[in-house]
A = this chain, B = another copy of it.
Amino acid sequence: MDDLTLSARVAPFRDASAFAASVGALNLAQGLPEPLFDEVMNTALARQVTAGWQYADPRGEMILRESIAAHSGPGIAADSEVLVTSGCTESLYLALYAAATEFGNKVAFFEPFYPYYPGLAALLGIEPIPVPFSPGLQGPDWDALEQQVRAGVRILLINTPHNPTGWCMTGEDWQRLVALATTHAFVVIVDEAYGQFEYATHGPARYPRGQLPIMVAGSASKLLSMTGVRIGWLCAPASLIERAHAHHLYLSYCQPKPLQAAVAVLLDELAGGQLDGVRAHYKNKRDCLASALANAGFEFTVPAGGHYLMADYSRLDPSRSPVAFSQHLARCCGVMPLPATPFYLDHCPRSVRFSFSVAKPIVDQACARLEEL
């Protein structure tokens, strides 16, 4: 994959937002979370600047690693199983690198996929192997995935809650992987960027750590509605953290101490229930959007989690391409979705993605416009 392709694969986010602005449409093409905790952050930061601006521990300051371990579930050793990174992107890069040193140079992930996956793999010399979702996008084709494992793929990259469909991995799904792990040695990288946003189960998933190697990439971006704070993390078995850490020394190296300390304060303070309120707020936005889109004639599975709704528009407008339809909707209805094109390697179905990670008044206004379609 050359540099132009690297940029081009993720350019549709920027292009769609620019188009929305150019025609004055409401921008539902990107995740643009409301800054829910900026005041708490700024207060914490004003106190934590006393930590100073000299090198932090490249593994992450212990105070933050302990908060991450506590947030991520029981039994995670803050000293050896947590690495603080520059957002979820560096975490995924390092996870793939570390996984490839032990599990070979092929990675399977479900298609549609987060558009950064093929590029992350390509930059590390890893072959990307997309595995399809079932028709209707209700969930992944597990048989197809198992077939890839039996054929020798040893790294699975699973995004749950899933972007763009909102599918969430269930306990049954995990048991299927645990069973497969009794006969095949593979590692699962979990991209849990939206980990706190599961609407059916009222909370994030618990992973069967100890039954198979699991590496979890997370970040403060969506969890704390601060996409630009660039505090991410990787939780994984110690041997894989060692490998990721070795490469991390040659990338972002460390994150600023005051930011780490402030995010630790927020993780500790918000763990006690405020995140339930955030989840309820997003569920409410999801329900409004889903209702309006159904009334407008879109077909979709209501997302069980995440920040997005993937909708099929072929009944409404069978001829236009996803890009043409998105622009048409922006012009005629004043609502700009993201064409689903970047979520597919080659062929993209007649689908667009609507974000409900925007302020509630924007969701409401978009719904009113869509109801008039």
Contact = CB atoms under 8 A, between A and B. Distances in A.
Contacts of A178: none
Contact of A252 (B2, B227, B252): B252
Contacts of A172: none
Given A3-B242, A250-B123, A54 B228 contact: yes
Given A35-B52, A250-B120, A251-B252, A257 B245 contact: no
Copies of the chain in the assembly = 2
A45 interface: yes
A18 interface: no
B226 A54 contact: yes
Contact of A42 (B10, B49, B229, B245): B49
Interface string A229-264: 110000000000011011101111111110100000
A250 B249 CA distance: 16
Contact of A228 (B6, B120, B256): B256
Nearest to A14: B58
Interface residues of A, number: 51
Contact of A7 (B4, B38, B89, B249): B249
Q: Count chain B CB atoms within 10 A of each CB in A45, A87, A116, A250 and give the residue with the most.
A: A250
A227 B87 contact: no
Given A45-B49, A256-B259, A116 B228 contact: no
Interface of A: 2-4, 6-7, 10, 32-33, 35, 38, 41-42, 45-46, 49, 52-56, 86-87, 89-90, 93, 101, 116, 119-120, 123, 125, 226-230, 242-243, 245-247, 249-257, 259
Given A6-B246, A32-B54, 4 more contacts: A3-B101, A33-B54, A86-B253, A93-B251
